[in-house]
C-alpha cells in the first residue's frame, strides 16, 4: 500500500508561515502576518483528496549480459482510473559499478501523459562488474494536491546476470596426451591434420600431393610428408575462492583483497573457457571454497554460459574444506589439463592443489594475489612479519615446484595469454609445450 | 518503506537559475529597511539559498533568515506583502521536480497556488488598510490559519477499503 504524506513543499510553506506568525507575536509587529498570508493561502487551496495509488513495474531488456554491455531499464508507472496525480517523477539510482549511459536520471511526467493511464521511463545502463544483482532501483515520486502530498515508491527489477567479459587469447596450452577426438591441436600421432610432423618413404596408397619433392630428389627415392593428427583437448579450470578474508590473513583488508583475487580468477576462467570452447575443445570448471561446485568438461557455447553461471556463484563463503573425492570422474577425467587460479593463501586450497597433482593431473597454478598484507599503513615492527609472510609464500611456491607444478604470477596489466606464455616454449627435443604430464 | 537519502532536488538549469535568483531576492529585499546587525543573518540566508539548489533544507533556512530580517525591520505593509509573495514563489520554485523537459507547463500548473497567495496577501493588506493593525485579532486569525494549514498538511489517515 502506498503511503501518501505531506510533501517538502507543504512542509516548507507551513514552516515559513509559522515562523512569520511567531515573529509577529514575539516582536509585536502585526504586519508580519503579511509574510505568512500567501503561504497560508497556498496551503489552504491544496486539495486534501488522495489520488489512487500508482503501480510501478520495472523491466529489463535482457536478463543476462556481459560486463560493459548496455541494458535498457524501463519503469512503467500505471495510474488507475480516477483523478491522476499532478506529476510523477521516476528516478533511477544505479547500483555501484553500474553507469548510466543515456536517459536523465530523473524523468518527470505531467497530467497530459498520466491521463493516458501510464507513463514509461527508460534508461540505458552499463554494468561494469560481474555478478548477479539488480542494475539499480527506480524511485518513483508521485505528487498530488497541487504538490501538497506525495508518495514515494521504490521498485527494483529482477536480478541481472552479468557475466565476466573474456579477454582474447589463443588456446595454445594443451596436455601431453590429447583426446582421440578431432580438434584443432596437433597431436603426437600422424594423421590428417595440417601441421608438419615428419617424413617417411612413399608407400602405395599415399597421395601424390604429399610427396616432398626436395627430399625425394636429394635422396633419390620418393618421400612423403607426414602431418600431425588434429586432436581436441580437455581443460578443467579450478578457482580457489577461499579468500584471505576467511583464511589466515584476515582483518578488514582481507575482504577487499579477496574480492580482487576472486575477480582476477573469474576473469581468467572466463577467458580460458571462451578460448578453448571456441576451438571445439572441452572445458569444465571446479570452484573450491564455499560449497564445492563443479561442471564436467563439455563443448559448445552452452557450456560457456553454464561455466559463466557457475562463476557467478563463486562468492559464497564457507568453512567447509574441499574434498576432491566428491568430484565424479566424469567432471575431472584423468589426464585433463587443470589450470588453477589461486592466491595461494589458504591451506585448504593449497592442500587441494597438492592432492590434485599427486593424482597425476597436469596442473598449472596462476597466482592471483597482487597485494601484500597489510595493504594499509603498517604498524611499527610489521616489517618482520611481512618478511616472514613472504618466506612462507616462497615456501608454498617451492613445494608446488617440487611437485612439478609451475606457478605463474599474474602481474598487473598483464593479459592471461602473456602470463601463460612461458609454458608455451617447447623444451629442447620436444614439440609439445612444457606442461608436466 | 525507508525514506531514501538519495532524493535530491534536481532542476533544469533555467529553472535552477530562476530559483536561485528568487531566493537571493527573498533574502535581500528587506535589507533596505533592516538594521545592520541582520546583514550577517541575510548573508547566511543567501548562502542557504544558493545551497538550496542541491540541499533540500536550504530554501527553508533562507526563508527563516528572511523572516528574521523582516521581523526587526521598519518595512511597511506593502514591502512585507511583497516579501510574502517572494517567499511563496521561491518555495514553489525550489520544489520543482527533477527532469523537467519544459518548465512552462509545470509553471502553469503552479498558478493556482500563486493566485491563492496573492488573494490571501491582498486580504490581509486590506485589513491593514482599515486600521486594524493594532488589534490582536489579526494575530489570532493568523494563528488560526497556521493551525488550519498544519491540519491540511498532516498525513491523511487511510481506512481499509478506501
- Note whether A305 and A218 are same-domain residues: no
Rounded average pLDDT over A245-271: 69
pLDDT at A377: 63
- Note whether A263 and A358 are same-domain residues: yes
- Note whether A257 and A367 are same-domain residues: yes
Q: Would residue A11 count as lying in a domain? A: yes
Q: Could you say which DSSP state residue B35 is in?
A: -
- Note whether A328 and A267 are same-domain residues: yes
Q: Would residue A430 count as lying in a domain? A: no
User: Which of B106, B134, B153 has its CB closest to that of A110?
Assistant: B106
- Note whether A325 and A337 are same-domain residues: yes
- Note whether A222 and A240 are same-domain residues: no
Interface-testing mutation among A14, A15, A43, A143, with chain B (most B C-beta atoms within 10 A) = A43
CB contact under 8 A, B4 and A89: no
Separation between Cα atoms, residue A307 and residue A384, nearest integer Å: 42
The Cα of B141 is separated from the nearest Cα of chain A by a number of Å equal to 9
Residue indicated by cell numbers 630428389 = A217
- Note whether A225 and A272 are same-domain residues: no
pLDDT at B8: 43
pLDDT at B160: 44
Q: Would residue A388 count as lying in a domain? A: yes
Q: Would residue A437 count as lying in a domain? A: no
CB contact under 8 A, B83 and A7: no
Number of domains forming the structure of chain A: 4
pLDDT at A247: 41
DSSP E strands in A34-148: the ranges are 55-60, 64-66, 71-78, 87-94, 98-102, 106-109, 118-127, 131-133, 136-144
pLDDT top residue among B117 and A242: B117
- Note whether A256 and A397 are same-domain residues: yes
A103: nearest CA partner in chain B:
B99
pLDDT top residue among A19 and A319: A19
- Note whether A73 and A153 are same-domain residues: yes
Separation between Cα atoms, residue A78 and residue A59, nearest integer Å: 14
Q: pTM for this one?
A: 0.70
- Note whether A31 and A16 are same-domain residues: yes
CATH number, domain containing residue A147? 2.60.40.740
CB contact under 8 A, A23 and B67: yes
- pLDDT of A431 strictly over 70: no
- Note whether A317 and A414 are same-domain residues: yes
pLDDT at A319: 58
pLDDT at A359: 83
Residue A33 contacts B, CB cutoff 8 Å: yes
pLDDT at B154: 62
DSSP E strands in A305-362: the ranges are 337-342
Residue A26 contacts B, CB cutoff 8 Å: yes
CB contact under 8 A, A38 and B118: yes
| Sign, Cα dihedral of A177, A181, A187, A191 | positive
Separation between Cα atoms, residue A66 and residue A400, nearest integer Å: 35
Q: CA-based Rg of chain A, rounded to a whole angstrom?
A: 33
- pLDDT of A255 strictly over 70: no
User: Which of B84, B112, B145 has its CB closest to that of A45?
Assistant: B112
What's the pLDDT tens digit per position in A179-227?
667 767 776 677 777 778 788 899 888 888 889 999 999 999 999 998 8
Do residues A194 and A227 touch, judged by C-beta distance below 8 A?
Answer: yes
Q: Of A68, A63, A64, nearest to A129 (Cα)?
A: A68
pLDDT at B161: 43
The Cα of A156 is separated from the nearest Cα of chain B by a number of Å equal to 13
- pLDDT of B92 strictly over 60: yes
CB contact under 8 A, A105 and B71: no
pLDDT at B64: 93
Q: Would residue A295 count as lying in a domain? A: yes
User: Which of A27, A108, A141 has its CB closest to that of B100?
Assistant: A108
Do residues A67 and A163 touch, judged by C-beta distance below 8 A?
Answer: yes
In chain B, residues with a C-beta closer than 8 Å to the C-beta of A153 are 1
Per the structure, the complete domain to which residue A115 belongs is given by 55-163
In chain A, residues with a C-beta closer than 8 Å to the C-beta of B55 are none
What's the pLDDT tens digit per position in B51-62?
888 888 889 999
- pLDDT of A317 strictly over 50: yes
Query: Any alpha helices (H) in A237-346, and if so which ranges?
Result: 251-278, 301-311
Mean pLDDT score of chain A? 81
- Note whether A406 and A315 are same-domain residues: yes
What's the pLDDT tens digit per position in A350-390?
888 888 888 888 889 999 888 776 655 666 677 777 888 88
Amino acid at each position: 500500500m502506498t503511503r501518501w504524506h505531506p510533501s517538502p513543499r507543504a512542509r516548507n510553506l507551513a514552516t515559513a508561515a509559522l515562523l512569520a506568525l511567531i515573529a509577529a507575536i514575539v516582536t509585536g509587529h502585526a504586519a508580519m502576518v503579511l509574510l505568512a498570508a500567501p503561504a497560508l493561502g497556498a496551503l489552504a487551496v491544496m486539495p486534501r483528496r488522495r489520488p489512487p495509488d500508482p503501480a510501478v513495474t520495472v523491466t529489463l531488456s535482457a536478463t543476462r549480459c556481459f560486463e560493459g554491455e548496455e541494458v535498457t531499464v524501463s519503469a512503467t508507472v500505471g495510474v488507475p482510473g480516477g483523478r491522476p496525480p499532478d506529476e510523477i517523477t521516476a528516478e533511477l539510482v544505479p547500483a555501484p559499478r553500474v553507469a548510466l549511459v543515456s536517459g536523465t536520471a530523473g524523468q518527470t511526467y505531467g497530467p497530459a501523459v498520466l491521463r493516458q493511464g501510464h507513463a514509461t521511463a527508460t534508461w540505458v545502463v552499463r554494468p561494469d562488474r560481474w555478478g548477479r544483482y539488480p542494475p539499480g532501483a527506480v524511485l518513483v515520486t508521485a505528487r498530488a494536491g497541487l504538490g501538497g502530498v506525495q508518495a514515494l515508491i521504490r521498485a527494483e527489477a529482477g536480478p541481472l546476470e552479468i557475466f565476466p567479459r573474456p579477454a582474447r587469447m589463443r588456446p595454445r596450452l594443451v596436455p601431453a596426451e590429447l583426446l582421440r577426438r578431432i580438434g584443432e591441436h596437433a597431436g603426437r600421432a600422424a594423421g590428417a591434420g595440417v601441421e608438419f610432423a615428419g617424413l617417411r618413404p612413399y608407400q602405395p596408397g599415399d597421395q601424390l600431393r604429399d610427396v616432398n619433392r626436395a627430399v625425394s630428389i636429394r635422396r633419390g627415392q620418393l618421400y612423403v610428408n607426414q602431418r600431425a593428427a588434429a586432436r581436441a583437448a580437455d581443460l578443467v579450470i579450478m578457482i580457489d575462492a577461499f579468500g584471505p578474508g576467511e583464511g589466515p590473513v584476515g582483518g578488514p583488508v582481507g575482504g577487499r583483497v579477496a574480492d580482487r583475487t576472486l575477480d582476477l580468477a573469474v576473469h581468467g576462467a572466463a577467458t580460458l573457457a571462451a578460448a578453448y570452447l571456441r576451438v571445439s575443445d572441452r572445458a569444465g570448471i571446479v570452484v573450491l571454497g564455499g560449497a564445492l561446485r563443479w561442471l564436467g568438461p563439455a563443448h559448445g557455447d552452452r557450456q560457456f554460459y553454464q561455466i559463466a553461471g557457475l562463476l557467478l556463484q563463486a562468492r559464497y563463503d564457507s568453512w567447509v574444506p574441499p574434498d576432491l573425492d566428491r568430484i565424479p570422474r566424469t567432471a575431472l577425467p584423468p589426464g585433463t589439463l587443470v589450470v588453477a587460479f589461486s592466491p595461494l593463501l589458504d591451506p585448504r586450497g593449497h592442500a587441494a592443489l597438492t592432492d590434485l597433482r599427486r593424482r597425476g593431473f597436469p596442473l598449472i597454478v596462476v597466482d592471483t594475489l597482487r597485494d601484500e598484507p597489510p595493504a594499509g599503513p603498517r604498524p611499527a615492527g610489521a616489517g618482520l612479519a611481512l618478511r616472514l609472510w613472504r618466506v612462507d609464500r616462497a615456501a608454498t611456491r617451492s613445494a608446488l615446484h617440487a611437485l612439478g607444478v609451475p606457478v605463474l604470477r599474474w602481474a598487473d596489466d598483464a593479459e592471461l595469454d602473456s602470463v601463460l606464455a612461458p609454458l608455451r616454449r617447447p623444451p629442447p627435443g620436444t614439440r609439445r609445450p612444457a606442461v608436466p604430464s | 518503506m525507508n525514506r531514501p537519502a538519495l532524493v535530491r532536488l534536481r532542476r533544469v538549469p533555467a529553472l535552477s537559475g530562476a530559483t536561485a535568483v528568487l531566493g537571493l531576492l527573498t533574502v535581500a529585499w528587506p535589507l533596505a529597511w533592516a538594521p545592520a546587525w541582520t546583514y550577517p543573518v541575510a548573508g547566511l540566508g543567501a548562502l542557504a539559498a544558493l545551497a538550496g539548489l542541491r540541499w533540500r533544507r536550504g530554501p527553508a533556512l533562507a526563508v527563516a533568515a528572511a523572516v528574521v530580517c523582516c521581523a526587526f525591520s521598519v518595512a511597511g505593509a506593502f514591502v512585507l506583502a511583497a516579501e510574502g509573495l517572494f517567499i511563496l514563489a521561491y518555495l514553489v520554485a525550489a520544489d520543482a521536480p527533477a527532469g523537467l523537459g519544459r518548465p512552462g507547463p509545470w509553471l502553469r500548473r503552479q498558478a493556482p497556488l500563486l493566485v491563492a497567495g496573492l488573494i490571501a496577501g491582498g486580504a490581509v493588506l486590506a485589513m491593514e488598510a482599515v486600521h486594524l493593525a493594532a488589534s490582536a485579532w489579526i494575530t489570532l486569525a493568523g494563528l488560526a490559519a497556521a493551525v488550519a494549514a498544519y491540519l491540511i498538511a498532516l498525513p491523511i489517515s487511510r481506512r481499509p477499503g478506501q
